[in-house]
Each structure stands twice: as C-alpha cells, then as structure tokens.
Structure 1
Amino acid sequence: MDFHAALDSDFARLVEVSSGSLDRPVPTCPGWTVADLDRHVAEVYLHKIACMRDGVEPKDWPPPQLATEEPLALLRRAHRELTEELAARADDEPSGNWYAPDPTVGFWRRRMAQETVIHRIDAELAAGTPSVDVPADLALDGIDEVLRIFLEYCAATWRDDFVDGLAAGGGRSVALAADGRRWLVAIGPDTLTVTEGDAAATAELTGSPDALLRWLWRRAGDETVTVTGDPTLVAELRGLLRTATQ
C-alpha cells in the first residue's frame, strides 16, 4: 500500500483539527493537550530521521531546543523533513530500530503512517469533530502491525512485563476478524503467538477494519465491535495491549 499517501493525508487532517484546539485536553492521552500531542508527533518524526541518518537510535531524545518551537510549526517542519528523508531512501536500507527482525527504513515508512493515523484520531477526539474512517487497507495493515510487532514481539522480548497477563490467558485464544482476515492470539501460559486462520477460539471480536484498529489501540471501547465468547479473556487481551502499546 502507499504509506506515503496515508502519512500525508493523516498529517494534513492532524494539522486541520489541531488548529484552534491546541489547549484542549486529549481524552485518549491523559495529561496531554493537543499542543502536547502535536509536539510528540513532531519529536517522533525527527527521531526517525536520526535513526535513518545515523543507523542507530539517538541516546538522548528529544533535544532541548525543540521545546522552543511552536508546536504546529515544529510539526510541519518535522513532517516536511521526514517525508524528504523517506523519499530519498530505499526500504531495505538499514536504520536504527528497536524491532530487531526488521532494522530498515521500510519499517519506519510503515510505522510513521500508522503512528500518524492513530494520533490524528486523538486530535479529532480532542477537538470534538467527527472522526474520518481509517481506509480499510491501512487499518488492516495496522491491525497486523499491532498484533505481530507490538504484542507478539514485545511479549517475547520484554517478557517480564507480560508475565501476569500471559499466565491469566492459560493458552486460550482470542480471534479478531475483519474484512475477510482473521487473526488468532494465543495467550500464555508462557508465550504469546499470533497466527491467521479459522481455528477455534475462546473469544472473538469482529468489526470493520477501522473499528478493530481503534479498539486495539484503545481509541474505542467494546461497544464499537462485536464480542462473543469469554469476556474475561478479551479483558486480558486488552490489558496486554495496554502494556505493549504504552
């Protein structure tokens, strides 16, 4: 899919709804205003530029001088510099990265598109404006990313943070289905695995790609999807996702 187009579209929407709303609190990011949200996104963009240019993640971030820039101006500058950097690089070029299986520019190309769509949803919620649906292809990709990279990889790499949730899962599975795809998350007792297929599950969530993506990132509640089976296992999955995406 065209991650550049997705990034640009959601960035433009983020700027649109942020304008005039900088002092509003962001309900999905407790303690933040929209100004804080915009500054965060800008700092993330600039961090990824450093990862790509230097080949390693910067040790001290963010640089203190970024705090002197007005949030929207900083966001616009960071987006411009990020898109220029991405356009100049191939997906298979190496880049500093916390995700060991794919330390490449291509990882960040995808990640920045997904980062931006979630945070423009945050800005829409803060502004109280109707939220634009996430296109199905971007949402399906985002579902796959959060399940396989944030949840499965993080649970294996930083296992101590997930021990209690994995034990509570007891090896049972939660299925998530949208638009012809169906993921199975097998939780515990010692590991967490994500596969796709038609195998039986103890609980299942179904909904549109947009709804499931928002649910996974805690930008929407259970009422936005259809939940069948054991609700306690769904709650355990929700708790594991909170740890993985905090």
Structure 2
Amino acid sequence: MNFLDILRREAELLAMSAFGQPPHKGVPACPGLNLGETVRHVGSGYRSALEWIRLGREPRAGEWQDHPEAGEDPLEFMRSGAAAVLAELSAHEEDEPCATWWPDQQNYGFWRRRLAHETTVHRMDVQGAAGVEAGAVDDDVAVDGVDEVLTLWLGHKLDVLGVRGSRDSLVAIEVEDHLWLTRCGPRGASAWRVVNPEDAHLADAQVSASPMTMYRWLWGRLPDRMVRVAGDHDAIAQLWALLRLATK
C-alpha cells in the first residue's frame, strides 16, 4: 500500500472539497467542529509532524505554526503544509528511522500511514460539511485504517493518556474476513488481529460492518445503527467511549 500516494490524493480531495465553502459550516458527524477548523487542524497536523521529525522529539506548544498567519488563507495554509510534509516523507525510505509518538514504529513509515489516515478521515468530514456524500476509500485502505485506530489509538494512546475502562470486556471487531479482538478494562486497553474466526466466540460482544463503514464508525463518524452488533451492549458502549477519548 502506497501511503504517500494516498496522502497526496486525499490532501488534494480535501482541498477541493473545501474550496469556496463557508468556513462556519458544521461537520455533521462531529458537533462543534466546522469546516474551517478542520482545514486548519489538518494544516497544523502536517507542521507538527515535520517538527517531530526535525527535533527528534515531541514538539512543545509554540514550536510549530498551528494557525495561519494574519491574512493567510486557511486553505493555502493546509495546502502548503501538505506540500512540505509530502516533500519530507518522499525524501526518505519508509524504514528510515525518525522520531514518532509510537514506540513500536520509529520511522518515516509511521508518518506516511498516520497522515494518510488523518487526511482521509478529515477529508470525509469536510465533504460532510460541504453537503456532499463522503467519497469511498479502497477496502484495503479502510481495513488498514481499522487496524490503525485499534492498535495505535485504543492500544497505545489510551495508555499514554492514563485512561482506563471501568470493567473488563472483550469485543470482537469483524470486517469481512478480518478479525480483531479488543480488551478494555481497569488494567488498560489492547487490540490485536486474530486469524481463527472461532476466536470471536471468546468475546463478550461483536461488531461487524463493511470496511469503510467500520473505519468511519471506529472514528466516531457513524452511529451504531450503521453497524451490526451482538452480545453485551455495555461492552460495546465502553469500547466506543474509550475510542472517543483516544481519538479526540
């Protein structure tokens, strides 16, 4: 999977979807978020990633430009950030070491993948705010996005935040022939892919959907009625709530 191509394509789609749209238009899937803030956030995220790479550590507030300059077009702020980060990532191989916020992947490949999914999710947000249907992504991209949100955000970011669940529960996530098990509880959260479909029977609950639907549901962009659920609904509700904290 070529994450650089995905990032390049999604950044351009985001920009085209935002062009000419009033910045105050709300993102339907994220109450309180509007189109202009989404565009700014993406542009800031590109610059933050570049500072991680340049400094070799997490940048502190004020060490990167997180808002457009006075008089700068927010869309141009996002576009110039995309161009800069694409140039940096293209100049290095995926396995070349660099600083990231995931100890398991300290290389340029992390940023290629992370920014590709970040841009894809927010491109769909912008399209929703613009009043158009969210453009589909390839199934393999969506499946990888499911894996990323479960292993990176649920399985790592929650631990960094020090957030725990209130009860032990095991929820299976099924996307066609792909299966993950997620464990949440007072001792932390984790997620892992499994090969044997029979392992799903170990879970307290199961959530199933098509690749793009599951991708968007896990990111909080679709309601529960869009996925198929079975088993302990409280376990699913806990997983959902923890994901919202991890990905906010």
Q: Normalising by the residue count of structure 1, what TM-score does the alignment of the two structures yield?
A: 0.91
Relative to 1, partners in 2 of residues 1:139 and 1:64: Cα closer, same or farther, differing over 3 Å? Answer: closer
**Does the 8 Å CA contact 2:51/2:59 hold for their aligned counterparts?**
yes
SS in 2 for 1:167: coil
SS in 2 for 1:219: coil
Pairwise CA distance, 1:147: 0.5
- 1:77 corresponds to: 80
Q: Hey, what does 1:2 align to over in structure 2?
A: 2
Identity of aligned residues (%): 34
Query: Structure 1 residues 45-54 or 140-149, which shifts more?
Result: 45-54
Work out the CA distance in 2 between the residues paired with 1:245 and 1:178.
20
Give me the whole-angstrom Cα distance separating, in 2, the residues matched to 1:42 and 1:64.
7
Where does residue 219 of structure 1 map in the other structure? 221
Is 1:11 the counterpart of 2:11? The answer is: yes
Q: How does 1:121-160 map to 2 (within 5 A)?
A: 121-159=124-162
Q: Cα RMSD over matched residues? A: 1.7
In 1, Cα distance between equivalents of 2:50 and 2:98: 9
Which of 185, 188, 192 matches 2:182?
Answer: 185
Greater share of helix:
1
Matched residue, 1:66 = 68
Question: Matches of 1:2 and 1:97 in 2, distance apart?
Answer: 19
Question: 1:191 Cα shift?
Answer: 2.9
Aligned length: 240
Aligned to 1:66, what secondary structure does the other structure show?
coil
Q: CA deviation at 1:189?
A: 4.1
Report the alpha carbon displacement of residue 178 of structure 1 after superposing the two structures with TM: 0.7
Contact (CA 8 Å) 2:166, 2:185: kept in 1 or not?
yes
CA distance in 1, matches of 2:75, 2:65: 17
Question: Structure 2 vs 1, CA of residues 52 and 236 (structure 1 numbering), >3 Å: closer, same or farther?
Answer: same
Distance in 2 of aligned mates of 1:55 and 1:12? 28
CA separation of 1:65 and 1:128: change in aligned 2, threshold 3 A: closer
Structure 2 residue runs without a partner (length 5+): none
CA shift digits 1:193-218 (9 cap, x unpaired): 22223312111111111000100000
Counterpart Cα distance in 2 of 1:206 and 1:31? 28
> Alpha-carbon deviations, 1:36-63, whole Å to 9, x = none?
1111101111111222223222212443
The one-character-per-residue Cα deviations of 1:31-87 (angstroms, maximum 9, x if unpaired) are 332111111101111111222223222212443773422111111111111111111
Contact residue 54 and residue 95 of structure 1 kept, 8 A:
no
Residues 1-246 of structure 1: pairs in structure 2 closer than 5 A: 1-21=1-21, 22-61=23-62, 62-63=64-65, 66-68=68-70, 69-159=72-162, 161-162=163-164, 166-168=165-167, 170=168, 172-197=169-194, 198=197, 199=199, 200=201, 201-246=203-248
Question: Is this contact kept in 1: 2:40–2:67, CA < 8 A?
Answer: no
- Equivalent AA in structure 1 for residue 14 of structure 2: L
TM-score by length of 2: 0.90
Partner Cα distance (2:20, 2:180) in 1: 40
* Counterpart secondary structure, 2:76: helix
- 87-96 vs 175-184, which moves further: 87-96
SS of match in other structure, 1:205: strand
Map Cα deviations across residues 61-114 of structure 1 (whole Å, 9 max, x no partner). 443773422111111111111111111012233323222222221111100000
- Which is further off, 196-205 or 93-102? 93-102
Q: Gapped runs of 5+ residues in structure 1?
A: none
